[in-house]
Amino acid sequence: MAGIRTLEEIMKQEPNRFQFVVFGEENHPNYNRILLSSVLQGDANVNDIVLNDYKWYEQNNIELHVDDPIVEVDKKNQIVISANGVKCSYDHLIFATGSNPFMLPLPGSEKEGVIAFRNIRDCESMIETAKSYKKAAVIGGGLLGLEAARGLLNLGMEVDVIHISDYLMERQLDEDAGKMLEKELKKQGMRFHLNKHTEKIIGGKRVKGLKFKDGSSIQADLVVMAVGIRPNVELAEKAGLDIGRAILVDDHMVTNEKNIYAVGECAEHRGIVYGLVAPLYEQGKHLAAYLCSSEKKGVPGYQGSIVYTQLKVSGVDVFSAGEFMDTEETKSIRVHDEFEGVFKKVVVRDHQIVGAVLFGDTADSPRLLSMMRSGQDISEMSKVAILPSESNSASGESVVLTMQDDETICGCNGVTKGDIVSAIKDLGLKTVNEVKQCTNASRSCGGCKPQVAELLALTTGESAADVKEPMCGCTKYTHEEVTASIRDMGLTHIREVMNVLEWSSDAGCSKCRPALNYYLGLVNPSMYIDDSHSRFINERVHANIQKDGTFSVVPRMYGGVTDSEQLRKIADVADKYKVRLLKVTGGQRIDLLGVKKEDLPSMWKDLGMRSGYAYGKTLRTVKTCVGKDFCRFGTQDSIGLGIEIEKKYEGLNTPHKVKMAVSACPRNCAESGIKDVGIVGVEGAWELYVAGNGGVDLRGGELLCKVKTSQEVIDTISAFLQYYREQANYLERTSHWVERVGLDSIKKVVLEDQKEREALIERMDIALENHKDPWTEIVASDEVQKELFEKKNVTV
């Protein structure tokens, strides 16, 4: 991977200066080794992962010798000799010989069925073995071992992972994250043997099992060793190059011989040998710049890299970068939410971020990496801003939109948001594949593909349908395709969808489960029983979790109107449960903050009010101004209409939160212009604005229509919201949806096509029929109270 990338970089700068000859030991042109995990997991085949095919070599006039390793270097005469006896002279020689997998020297390791996981041959061997054998053992619970284990599970094998340490991926994670990872992977079906030392491999000609030093043993028909790698330096050593842990190079990747260079896993730079592509590609870039420059002195050298890793197992989001363990000189900021399975830790030294571990929600990773790389001083920043809460980052707000141009989107290839946006604009790119070809973004592990796709959609303003992205890593299908299958095939349960659409993980993940729960409820409104386990924590317990693990309670106040009886109840409850803060919200109601989880049901009972749904993907509030009865400018009854609307749409499930407002004149005191649906009274009529947003992504609402009566207002809201419910992706705000599909196309359906409008209104009424107030329901059920409110397992 490093060798050919170096040639590409050289050709970018000096297309015709050098004549290249490439020798490779494997019987393939260069391929994306990273995606061997995807091949094993069944998401790609060997042809898909070739990076430069034979035609590319031909077109670029590069002489390629595959399956023919170099066995000798004659430095004096500047000649290399291959295993097949080919002699080739050189002016410059680049070593990019990578690593060999480390094979534990255990008795029995020569047996049939004991392999590594490094190349296409290993991958094919595992796929073949799974056809006739059932039990696999993977030695090593690091990145490679776990990706191999996931692949073997996908191939239908039972998998035992044997790991020498107390917790998984101890070279990349701290203990908390390692344990959470173990729990998640156990759910996927892996069996773990931690703190285990293998003594020998047992069996006859073929492996039959493993025996451990503590006397225990397991059966295995296949043993995959994934216990690390060793730089492949044999040839370099024989050629007399200086070797440390790998081939020693300076900042220009030059060895102790001035026309011999080394890049990739076989090179040691400033005492570090890297095992991930991002630094190797950086090395290639620096070597290319050095080779292409005629005045070598001024060329900036490679300074080393901050590395980060991401595990490529679907349904598990793990990110680790830099120094992730605490030391005496470091302090850390942590968020640990056991309900959601989210763990975030940022390690800080001398006011700078030096490492991070994210589990369950890795949306913050580009920003944190960028802060680490720039050495940003965080002493003045609020700690909340460094680690946004789950509700911010998983809320569907666009992460790429808020990124700076110099922040990296593709870590493997070092491509920034600015690079991608310029390429899209300057070259008129239309697909993720074109962005990949032109910028290299998403060309390696593929982890950044969703962000590239999102950026493409945002930059071109094209329909995201052109940028087809799967719902999550568990499936190849998009949101639209999954919803269409639910409708067309009459699917009614989450498990059924996963089975029929061949989900790659049995339990799904935190992205697809809530989305499937929503789509199933949308398609089968009267039949579907909501799966509360597939909802985010706030929606499950019907209150908002706060940073200290307590909750906030917001009772419904229709149209922002209250009375002395409600206020008295709220005051009594606040005293009884020692509420720490009473706060009037932006949505015109009262928030009771600092409530203990176990107090929630009795508090709701004492309040006797309905839930304000301040936590849900549903209608939040309808804010109103005082209107014509009191205000001298008011032309309409804003309070009356606001209350009617709030009562009608209360509890409606929507793809994301929905906020509304009614103002009785264009002075707009209820801020109708920045709501999902905003209504403004004008002389003898109402104007309806949609897709406004007052949050991070500030956006003024667009005029949908002007109507005369409050009934027309309600019918239009029904048609618009039902269309939004049916067409938008889960976690897409109305503002993003309208930007994506365009208001004109929505007007055609919601206003102009009378038949479709009526059908939408009818479907909305069916959806609303089934709503029950969640607080009242929970108060009435001891069983639900026990399950939801008696466990205490959130630490933040």
Ligand X SMILES: NC(=O)c1ccc[n+]([C@@H]2O[C@H](COP(=O)([O-])OP(=O)(O)OC[C@H]3O[C@@H](n4cnc5c(N)ncnc54)[C@H](O)[C@@H]3O)[C@@H](O)[C@H]2O)c1
Ligand Y SMILES: Cc1cc2nc3c(=O)[nH]c(=O)nc-3n(C[C@H](O)[C@H](O)[C@H](O)COP(=O)(O)OP(=O)(O)OC[C@H]3O[C@@H](n4cnc5c(N)ncnc54)[C@H](O)[C@@H]3O)c2cc1C
Q: Which residues are annotated as a binding site?
A: 625, 631, 665, 669
Continuous segment of H or E residues that includes residue 158: strand 158-162
The DSSP secondary structure of 346-415, one letter per residue, reads EEEETTEEEEEEEES--TTHHHHHHHHHHT-B-TTS-HHHHS--HHHHTTT--HHHHS-TTSEEETTTTE
One residue of 37, 393, 444, 538 binding ligand FES per CB under 6 A: 444
Q: Which string of x and - marks every residue 229-268 that binds ligand X (by CB under 6 A)?
A: x---------------------------------------
Contacts of 578 (CB under 8 A, 6+ apart): 594
One residue of 209, 284, 447, 473 binding ligand FES per CB under 6 A: 447
Q: How many CB atoms lie within 10 A of CB 24?
A: 19
626 makes contact with ligand SF4 (CB under 6 A)? yes
For 727, how many CA atoms within 13 A lie in the half-sphere containing its CB?
Answer: 23
One residue of 155, 509, 665, 728 binding ligand SF4 per CB under 6 A: 665
Candidates 21-29, 168-176, 325-333, 628-636; binding stretch for ligand SF4 (CB under 6 A): 628-636
- Give dist(CA 675, CA 477) in Å, integer: 31
Contacts of 205 (CB under 8 A, 6+ apart): 111, 112
Contact indicator for 693, 659 with CB cutoff of 8 Å: no
Contact indicator for 186, 193 with CB cutoff of 8 Å: no
For 125, how many CA atoms within 13 A lie in the half-sphere containing its CB?
Answer: 17
Of 54 and 633, nearer to ligand SF4 (C-beta) is 633
- Give dist(CA 671, CA 649) in Å, integer: 19
Q: Tell me 215's DSSP state.
A: S
Select from ligand Y, ligand X, ligand SF4, none the partner in contact with residue 365, using the beta carbon and a kind-dependent cut-off of 5 to 8 Å. Answer: none
147 makes contact with ligand X (CB under 6 A)? yes
Q: Which string of x and - marks every residue 188-227 that binds ligand FES (by CB under 6 A)?
A: ----------------------------------------
| Angstrom distances, CA of residue 124 to CA of 67, 229, 311 | 17, 20, 21
Select from ligand SF4, ligand FES, ligand Y, none the partner in contact with residue 448, using the beta carbon and a kind-dependent cut-off of 5 to 8 Å. Answer: ligand FES
Of 78 and 668, nearer to ligand SF4 (C-beta) is 668
| Angstrom distances, CA of residue 219 to CA of 115, 148, 213, 279, 362 | 16, 18, 15, 39, 36
Residue 605 tokens, joined: 């009972």
- Give dist(CA 291, CA 272) in Å, integer: 22
Minimum CB separation of residue 766 from ligand Y in Å reads 47
Q: Is 458 helix (H, G, I), strand (E, B) or coil?
A: helix
Q: Which string of x and - marks every residue 5-44 that binds ligand Y (by CB under 6 A)?
A: ------------------xxxx------xx-xx-------
Minimum CB separation of residue 46 from ligand Y in Å reads 13
Minimum CB separation of residue 776 from ligand X in Å reads 48
| Angstrom distances, CA of residue 733 to CA of 689, 729, 764 | 15, 9, 18
Of 422 and 710, nearer to ligand SF4 (C-beta) is 710
Residue 699 identity:
R
- Which residues make beta-bridge pairs with 334? 345
Minimum CB separation of residue 122 from ligand Y in Å reads 8
Of 69 and 695, nearer to ligand Y (C-beta) is 69
One residue of 5, 135, 150, 163 binding ligand X per CB under 6 A: 163
Contact indicator for 348, 333 with CB cutoff of 8 Å: yes
One residue of 633, 711, 748, 771 binding ligand SF4 per CB under 6 A: 633
Of 265 and 407, nearer to ligand Y (C-beta) is 265
Select from ligand Y, ligand FES, ligand SF4, none the partner in contact with residue 118, using the beta carbon and a kind-dependent cut-off of 5 to 8 Å. Answer: ligand Y
410 makes contact with ligand FES (CB under 6 A)? yes
Binding-site residues for siroheme, in ranges, read: 669
In the chain, how many H helices and how many E strands? 28, 35
Minimum CB separation of residue 631 from ligand SF4 in Å reads 3
The DSSP secondary structure of 654-706, one letter per residue, reads -SS-EEEEEESSTT-TT-GGGSSEEEEEETTEEEEEES-B-SSS-B--EEEEE
Q: Is 247 helix (H, G, I), strand (E, B) or coil?
A: strand
Candidates 156-164, 411-419, 653-661, 690-698; binding stretch for ligand FES (CB under 6 A): 411-419
Contact indicator for 670, 631 with CB cutoff of 8 Å: no
Minimum CB separation of residue 561 from ligand FES in Å reads 51
Minimum CB separation of residue 657 from ligand FES in Å reads 30
One residue of 241, 254, 291, 448 binding ligand FES per CB under 6 A: 448
Count of residues binding ligand Y (CB under 6 A)? 32
Candidates 67-75, 463-471, 663-671, 777-785; binding stretch for ligand SF4 (CB under 6 A): 663-671
Contact indicator for 511, 361 with CB cutoff of 8 Å: no
Widest Cα–Cα separation across the chain? 99
Minimum CB separation of residue 391 from ligand X in Å reads 28
108 makes contact with ligand Y (CB under 6 A)? no
- Give dist(CA 319, CA 327) in Å, integer: 20
Minimum CB separation of residue 74 from ligand X in Å reads 32
Minimum CB separation of residue 316 from ligand FES in Å reads 16
541 makes contact with ligand Y (CB under 6 A)? no
Scan for tokens 């990496």, then name that residue.
369
Show contacts with ligand FES in window 424-443 (CB under 6 A): 441-443
- Give dist(CA 149, CA 614) in Å, integer: 42
Minimum CB separation of residue 494 from ligand Y in Å reads 29
279 makes contact with ligand FES (CB under 6 A)? no
Residue 606 identity:
D
Of 436 and 757, nearer to ligand FES (C-beta) is 436
One residue of 354, 358, 412, 512 binding ligand FES per CB under 6 A: 412
One residue of 24, 108, 140, 411 binding ligand FES per CB under 6 A: 411
Residue 292 tokens, joined: 């292409």
One residue of 165, 485, 562, 668 binding ligand SF4 per CB under 6 A: 668
Residue 371 tokens, joined: 């802060």
Select from ligand X, ligand FES, ligand SF4, none the partner in contact with residue 474, using the beta carbon and a kind-dependent cut-off of 5 to 8 Å. Answer: none
Alpha helices by DSSP H, listed for 92-155, are 120-132, 143-154
Q: Is 734 helix (H, G, I), strand (E, B) or coil?
A: helix
**Of the candidates 120, 130, 141, the residue with the CA atom closest to the CA atom of residue 45:** 120
One residue of 12, 171, 270, 351 binding ligand X per CB under 6 A: 171
Show contacts with ligand X in window 175-234 (CB under 6 A): 198, 226-229
Residue 517 tokens, joined: 């729960």
311 makes contact with ligand X (CB under 6 A)? yes
Alpha helices by DSSP H, listed for 536-686, are 537-541, 564-576, 600-607, 638-649
Scan for tokens 């990349």, then name that residue.
172
One residue of 100, 125, 165, 492 binding ligand X per CB under 6 A: 165
Termini Cα distance of the chain: 41
Show contacts with ligand X in window 583-602 (CB under 6 A): none
Q: What angle do the packed helices 432-439 and 449-460 form, to 10 degrees?
A: 110
Q: Which residues bind ligand FES (CB under 6 A)?
A: 410-413, 441-448
Q: Which residues bind ligand X (CB under 6 A)?
A: 104, 139-145, 147, 162-165, 170-171, 198, 226-229, 275-276, 309-312
Q: Which residues bind ligand SF4 (CB under 6 A)?
A: 625-627, 631, 633-634, 638, 663-665, 667-669
Q: Which residues bind ligand Y (CB under 6 A)?
A: 1-3, 23-26, 33-34, 36-37, 69-70, 96-98, 117-118, 144, 147, 232, 235, 264-265, 275-278, 280, 312, 412, 445
